[in-house]
């Protein structure tokens, strides 16, 4: 194998989300977000969506890992690893506490000024998700989240505010995290803030596909408006989309399996990217909508705005792959957002997500072949239990292996001709799991002392992967 060669400008870094690591959930005028209403859960016990904050209940986002108070220490650690970029999100409710205010909360804006300044001090380029799995709970109460068209204006006001405020500090933006979660029932609340009558928990939501797809339409319009506006505010902005890419293979060469896998790829992986990148609904949407009794209300001007607000680059999360089969009796496996049929050639993580580094090369080629625009992998990594040894060390060799194998395949994809701008592994510092609310599902290079019940000192410790990743960055991926 020839040496891997990453471009000189390659953005190595790490990724986080405000609701999963900031804490300070009601500090300085911040309002409650949809994620602040989610209780802790586990792999087998679903997170509950509480309509009010209940006394004595553990809400993992409320303190999370307290980046809110410890950002200087954390950014210094990222800098020590040599990060070129840091993916983070802005908590919408720090800026607009209920979502409907006309004026932003200055204290919230100041907090991100300080964080960006701290990053820039070390030459770390912020990569900012405008909405990552949270929105004001006020908008859920008032409009049933994105089901209400009014939310477009609330979002655009928020985006305009942060674009203007940080236009000289932030160049790379993403409009929504994993927007395609809205194509699945789980995304009703998680991605769209929709809370239908009768929903109690996160996994078994009362699902109304009509509302979900209408909500998604509102997000597409909001994203396109934000892209257009962002470019007016600063023509140097790079504004991208973010898709949860859940690569699906046909289980066999039986044409039924092939078609099933293709359909899954279309509706779950490509649908949103097609709209973001090409600026129009894809040809296959029509049949899907007809067969699922979905009728999207499109207002005059919506389709034009979709065309005018296409993204500059494409980003995605990649953790695993799955198979699709027409045979209902095959063994199932779980995965990020979507499960599937177990692949006999792959091993899985402790949470049942199948580990497939070569699938990343395949995926990069699939996406690039479709759009031919620059890409970034903004989430990838292994959620695992870590053990702190008596001497205080944490030897997460399994995480190093996982990342190493994925980086090798990224390098191969670059050789294939794919234009890849950067790589930000998920949860570079341990944080709260989005799906389960656990702390003990860890992804980080930096360990945070806190358990699933929320107990711990919050002390930070370097894992073995910390020094390993530092070397990867300093050699620009030549030494793995």
| Residue 88 lies near ligand BGP (rule: CB under 6 A) | no
Smallest separation (angstroms) from ligand BGP to the CB of 182: 13
Q: What are phi and psi of 324, to 5 degrees?
A: -120, 140
**Stretch of 325-333, 401-409, 431-439, 446-454 contacting ligand BGP, by CB under 6 A:** 431-439
Smallest separation (angstroms) from ligand BGP to the CB of 427: 7
Kind and range of the H or E run holding 63 = helix 60-63
Instruction: Kindly tell me which residue out of 75, 346, 434, 446 binds ligand BGP, with binding defined by CB under 6 A.
Output: 434
| Residue 274 lies near ligand BGP (rule: CB under 6 A) | no
Beta carbon nearer to ligand BGP, 183 or 317: 317
Smallest separation (angstroms) from ligand BGP to the CB of 350: 11
| Residue 244 lies near ligand BGP (rule: CB under 6 A) | yes
Instruction: Kindly tell me which residue out of 248, 336, 343, 409 binds ligand BGP, with binding defined by CB under 6 A.
Output: 336
Smallest separation (angstroms) from ligand BGP to the CB of 71: 19
**Which residues from 152-191 bind ligand BGP, rule CB under 6 A?**
177-178
**Stretch of 224-232, 260-268, 389-397, 434-442 contacting ligand BGP, by CB under 6 A:** 434-442
Beta carbon nearer to ligand BGP, 74 or 412: 74
Beta carbon nearer to ligand BGP, 330 or 454: 454
Smallest separation (angstroms) from ligand BGP to the CB of 258: 27
Beta carbon nearer to ligand BGP, 320 or 324: 320
Smallest separation (angstroms) from ligand BGP to the CB of 441: 5
Beta carbon nearer to ligand BGP, 177 or 223: 177
Q: What are phi and psi of 11, to 5 degrees?
A: -90, 95
Instruction: Kindly tell me which residue out of 30, 441, 450, 463 binds ligand BGP, with binding defined by CB under 6 A.
Output: 441
Instruction: Kindly tell me which residue out of 4, 17, 88, 192 binds ligand BGP, with binding defined by CB under 6 A.
Output: 17
To 5 degrees, how large is the angle CA 313–CA 315–CA 318?
Answer: 160
Query: Which residues are registered as beta bridge partners of 239?
Result: 173
Name the region of 417 (left: φ>0; alpha: ψ -120 to 50; beta: rest): left
Beta carbon nearer to ligand BGP, 426 or 445: 426
Smallest separation (angstroms) from ligand BGP to the CB of 35: 10
Out of 22, 178, 412, 438, the active site residue is: 178
For residues 229 and 267, give the distance between their C-alpha atoms in angstroms, rounded to a whole number.
28
Binding mask 361-400 for ligand BGP (x = CB under 6 A): ------------------x---x-----------------
What sign results for the dihedral spanned by CA atoms 379, 380, 382, 386?
Answer: negative
Spell out the residues 6+ positions from residue 253 whose beta carbon is closer than 8 angstroms to its own.
none
125 tagged catalytic: no
| Residue 47 lies near ligand BGP (rule: CB under 6 A) | no
Instruction: Kindly tell me which residue out of 310, 435, 452, 465 binds ligand BGP, with binding defined by CB under 6 A.
Output: 435
| Residue 133 lies near ligand BGP (rule: CB under 6 A) | yes
Beta carbon nearer to ligand BGP, 108 or 383: 383
Q: How many residues bind ligand BGP (CB under 6 A)?
A: 16
Q: Could you tell me the CA-to-CA distances from 129 to 3, 13, 175, 179 in Å, in that order?
A: 33, 15, 6, 11
Residue (of 240, 367, 402, 407) closest to 309 by Cα position: 240
For residues 133 and 187, give the distance between their C-alpha atoms in angstroms, rounded to a whole number.
9
Which residue matches tokens 């999100």?
89
For residues 311 and 257, give the distance between their C-alpha atoms in angstroms, rounded to a whole number.
33
Both tokens assigned to 379: 């989430």
Residue (of 112, 24, 22, 18) closest to 65 by Cα position: 22
Spell out the residues 6+ positions from residue 213 whose beta carbon is closer than 8 angstroms to its own.
182, 183, 289, 294, 296
Dihedral of CA atoms 347, 328, 243, 112 in degrees, nearest 10, equals: -70
CB-count burial class (<10 Å; 0-12, 13-18, 19+) for 199: middle
| Residue 426 lies near ligand BGP (rule: CB under 6 A) | yes
Binding mask 298-327 for ligand BGP (x = CB under 6 A): -------------------x----------
For residues 58 and 193, give the distance between their C-alpha atoms in angstroms, rounded to a whole number.
20
Beta carbon nearer to ligand BGP, 281 or 316: 316
| Residue 33 lies near ligand BGP (rule: CB under 6 A) | no
Both tokens assigned to 120: 């820039």
Are 319 and 380 in contact by the 8 Å Cβ rule? The answer is yes
379 tagged catalytic: yes
Both tokens assigned to 184: 């699945």
Smallest separation (angstroms) from ligand BGP to the CB of 353: 8
Are 152 and 216 in contact by the 8 Å Cβ rule? The answer is no
Q: Which residues bind ligand BGP (CB under 6 A)?
A: 17, 20, 133, 177-178, 244, 317, 336-337, 379, 383, 426, 433-435, 441
Instruction: Cite the active site residues.
Output: 178, 379
């Amino acid at each position: 194998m020839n040496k891997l060669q990453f471009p000189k400008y390659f953005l190595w870094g790490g990724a986080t989300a405000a609701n999963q690591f900031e804490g300070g959930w009601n500090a300085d005028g911040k309002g409650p977000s949809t994620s602040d209403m989610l209780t802790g859960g586990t792999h087998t016990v679903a997170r509950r969506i509480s309509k009010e904050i209940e006394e004595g209940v553990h809400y993992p986002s409320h303190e999370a890992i307290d980046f809110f108070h410890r950002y200087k220490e954390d950014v210094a650690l990222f800098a020590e690893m040599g990060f070129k970029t840091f993916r983070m999100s802005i908590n919408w409710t720090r800026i607009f506490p209920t979502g409907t205010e006309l004026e932003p909360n200055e204290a919230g804006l100041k907090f991100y000024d300080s964080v960006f300044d701290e990053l820039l001090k070390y030459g770390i380029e912020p990569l900012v998700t405008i909405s990552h799995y949270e929105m004001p709970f006020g908008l859920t109460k008032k409009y049933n989240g994105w089901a209400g068209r009014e939310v477009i204006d609330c979002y655009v006001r928020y985006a305009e505010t942060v674009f203007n405020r940080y236009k000289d500090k932030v160049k790379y933006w993403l409009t929504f995290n994993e927007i395609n979660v809205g194509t699945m029932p789980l995304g009703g609340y998680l991605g769209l803030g929709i809370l239908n009558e009768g929903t109690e928990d996160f996994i078994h939501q009362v699902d109304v596909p009509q509302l979900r797809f209408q909500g998604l339409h509102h997000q597409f319009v909001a994203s396109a408006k934000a892209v257009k506006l962002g470019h007016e505010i600063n023509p140097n902005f790079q504004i991208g989309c973010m898709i949860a890419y859940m690569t699906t293979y046909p289980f066999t060469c039986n044409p039924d399996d092939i078609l099933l896998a293709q359909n899954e790829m279309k509706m779950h992986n490509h649908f949103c990217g097609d709209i973001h990148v090409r600026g129009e609904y894809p040809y296959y949407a029509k049949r899907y909508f007809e067969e699922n009794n979905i009728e999207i209300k499109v207002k005059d001007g919506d389709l034009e705005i979709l065309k005018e607000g296409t993204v500059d680059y494409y980003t995605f999360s990649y953790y695993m792959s799955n198979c699709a089969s027409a045979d209902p009796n095959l063994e199932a496996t779980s995965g990020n957002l979507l499960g599937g049929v177990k692949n006999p050639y792959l091993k899985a993580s402790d949470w049942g997500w199948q580990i497939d580094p070569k699938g990343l090369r395949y995926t990069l080629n699939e996406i690039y072949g479709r759009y031919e625009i620059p890409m970034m992998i903004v989430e990838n990594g292994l959620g695992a239990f870590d053990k702190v040894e008596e001497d205080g060390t944490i030897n997460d060799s399994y995480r190093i292996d996982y990342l190493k194998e994925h980086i090798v395949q990224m390098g191969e994809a670059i050789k294939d001709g794919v234009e890849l701008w950067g790589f930000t592994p998920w949860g570079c510092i341990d944080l709260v799991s989005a799906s389960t609310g656990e702390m003990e599902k860890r992804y980080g290079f930096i360990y945070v002392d806190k358990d699933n019940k929320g107990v711990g000192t919050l002390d930070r410790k370097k894992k073995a992967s910390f020094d390993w990743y530092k070397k990867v960055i300093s050699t620009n991926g030549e030494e793995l």
